[in-house]
Structure 1
Amino acid sequence: MTELTRSGLVAIIRGTDRDAAAAAALVLFEEGISCVEIALTTPGAFEAIEKIRRQLPDGAWVGAGTVLTAADAMDAAAAGAQFVVTPGVTESIPAAAGLGLPVLAGAFTATEAMDAMTRGASAVKLFPASAAGPGYLSALRGPLPSIPFIAVGGVGLADAPGFFRAGAVALGLGSPLVGDAATPAGNLASLRTRARQFIQVVIDEAAAR
């Protein structure tokens, strides 16, 4: 996914309300984060994806996360999702790939990462990245340099530079970025601030290369 590697960030929205999730996604697009994932654990997730697609800015992508089954993949495609994300190596990977959707497949070990790519993944979501740290990602990339890795799971602002320097093509950001924004009482102003901070990390790391 060219847009993913260009932007360097995927926002992961796991909310409590479909309208709040959609509102948070649109704020992130306004701030310059162009890839947003709506987790299927969000009530009304498919409706939220449909709503976002109707207001999607040029160059922005909305995807479905926590896609576990072939049926999930089909429902995500029907809702207008442009990519899917899985928490592990699941049947949804070949199903989504067969529908023409890029797949960010969850994996933790080298064996899982290779299996995910064989099944049709476009990139591997190293999850949970915070459990192993940047050094582990660097070690994985040694024998697997052709696999694009996205670091996901507990990656905070202070951790972000280390994962980029270890070779992550992007970061997947849940609560460290989204916070409470995908709830009815969520603070969208604070979401804007955090989005700008993470975008600045991407800019700084790109300039340092």
Structure 2
Amino acid sequence: MDLLAELRRRKVLAIIRTDDPDRALECIHTLVEAGITALEVSLTTPGGVEAIAKARSTYDPSILIGAGTVITPSQADEVAAAGAGFAVTPAITRGAHRSVELGLPLLCGALTPTEVVAALDLGATAVKIFPAKVYGPSYFRELRAPLPDAPLIAVGGVDAESAPEYLAAGALAVGVASPLLGNAATGGPQSELATRAKSFLTAVTPPTP
């Protein structure tokens, strides 16, 4: 599967940070049912590796399930063994290096042009611009002037209103955490999570001519 093409097509990468692995699985189920099928389980979630393994065994390969906040080489090893389809890092971490060594597709965190180039030179599949909200959508236009072919994902403070602006500015997808998960991450209503998911999908879907 071409991860870049799939992220470009799906446009929304749900970032799941919850207070336990069962809640993470519950949120994954709600999001998949609502139509968001690219998901990242952050390792800040207690039992995150376990949740990734269970989710991967539950859903067919068309559901993209990756691991987020991969900091250390051992974490990269663990998520690869759990069946994660990709690794996401907040920066050019040792876990990022190990992911590349393992052949695990990497969405590597960066912010400055120097970091973007370093992430791509490392072998990242795409670069996660984080935190995106610090400079906003216009920053993506500026980055793409000298780096027109750099595959960029906007993460950090992206909500349903700003998501289409980042896409229009050159992001291939947006990664969304708390504006999507809300209080579902700590036991809030899954029905409200489903509503937010549909709002995000509507926001990033071009109107039919």
For residue 29 of structure 1, the aligned residue among 32, 35, 38 is 32
SS at match of 1:180: helix
2:204 corresponds to 1:202: yes
Per-residue displacement from partner, 1:158-209 (whole Å, max 9, x unpaired)?
11121111011000000001112222x221100100111111122127x68x
* Aligned match of 2:13: 10
Which 5+ residue runs of structure 2 have no aligned equivalent? none
> TM-score scaled to structure 1, two decimals?
0.95
In the alignment, the residues of structure 1 paired with residue 26 and residue 58 of structure 2 have an alpha-carbon distance, to the nearest angstrom, of: 10
In the alignment, the residues of structure 2 paired with residue 33 and residue 97 of structure 1 have an alpha-carbon distance, to the nearest angstrom, of: 26
Amino acid at match of 2:24: A
Shift of 1:21: 0.6
Shift of 1:58: 4.6
1:37-186 equivalences under 5 Å are 37-183=40-186, 185-186=187-188
Per-residue displacement from partner, 1:123-145 (whole Å, max 9, x unpaired)?
00010001100111110011011
In the alignment, the residues of structure 2 paired with residue 68 and residue 31 of structure 1 have an alpha-carbon distance, to the nearest angstrom, of: 30
SS at match of 1:46: helix
Shift of 1:57: 3.7
Q: Which runs of 4+ in 1 moved over 3 A?
A: none
| Number of equivalences | 206
SS at match of 2:206: helix
Amino acid at match of 1:85: V
In the alignment, the residues of structure 2 paired with residue 18 and residue 166 of structure 1 have an alpha-carbon distance, to the nearest angstrom, of: 35
SS at match of 2:164: helix
Per-residue displacement from partner, 1:76-123 (whole Å, max 9, x unpaired)?
101111101000111222311222211111000000000001111000
CA contact (8 A) 1:84 1:104 kept: yes
CA contact (8 A) 1:65 1:85 kept: yes
CA RMSD in angstroms, aligned pairs only: 1.3
* Aligned match of 1:187: 189
Identity between Structure 1 and Structure 2 (%): 47
Amino acid at match of 2:51: A
Tell which deviates more after alignment, 11-20 or 87-96: 87-96
Amino acid at match of 1:191: L
CA contact (8 A) 1:178 1:191 kept: yes
CA contact (8 A) 2:85 2:104 kept: yes
Amino acid at match of 2:188: G
In the alignment, the residues of structure 2 paired with residue 197 and residue 49 of structure 1 have an alpha-carbon distance, to the nearest angstrom, of: 25
CA contact (8 A) 1:86 1:93 kept: yes
In the alignment, the residues of structure 1 paired with residue 62 and residue 34 of structure 2 have an alpha-carbon distance, to the nearest angstrom, of: 13
Per-residue displacement from partner, 1:43-91 (whole Å, max 9, x unpaired)?
0101111111121145111111000111111011011111010001112
